[in-house]
Structure 1
């Protein structure tokens, strides 16, 4: 019997509708350099939808923080070329962080316009939900700009409910786990 080519935990190879192959995998410290380099390829709206404000660059400090999640309370994934970390162009990042003293976790996802609309956000979100359920959390939440209709549609399709926030233009999406 032939040995199966198995990927490590939380690693999945996916093929997009355009034929491009991506590897969804946990983020690594070596991803900091490609993340910073790729930041300039993002459109201003993509940055604003993710960070809720404009940013010209991803600082070294922010990249280091993003690529070194606390394994007890955080989880982060990338959708990247199937190359080694540090060499692979990263097209999407998803992160979830437990809220101290509660059964909640907050998520954030950013998918580049180069691969948007091809199911990458859904793939990343499903893995964040799986991680949160594995941690026995009660809710998964995220703040989304009301003009970010693709993210709001994705959240609705996965069973998230929408709630108003005190911040105009911002919608909180919540999934009871």
Structure 2
């Protein structure tokens, strides 16, 4: 099993932890919110390492990247500082734009039974994990988006009564 940590950084950083393998879509382990911006993230990470005897309890990390896109005149830049923390603690972190969250709608989260109450940053971390696995080609995750085709009943065409049967 691979354990993946999803992050949605900010002054309140949402996180979720999942495990998956080649034949299993992501299975929820835990989720929550880390307060305190980039400092809170660093302290939370350190506590997780200490609890796991110095080794990180995950194999992969995926996080939203901070891209000032002009939608907010004076954006909070703490997510950028959190990126710096992640680069220092886990250089292999996969960063993805906030646009990737569109791969996982509220309706899909509810359909999968993964909707939990709260502020939403932890749900956004879920979106990053699923979008990452879906776009990376993880087939069990992609299959969650495949709709089963409705069963169609085969009805043979009627033959004209003058035609001899076989």
What is the TM-score with the length of structure 2 in the denominator? 0.30
Q: Higher helix proportion, which one?
A: 2
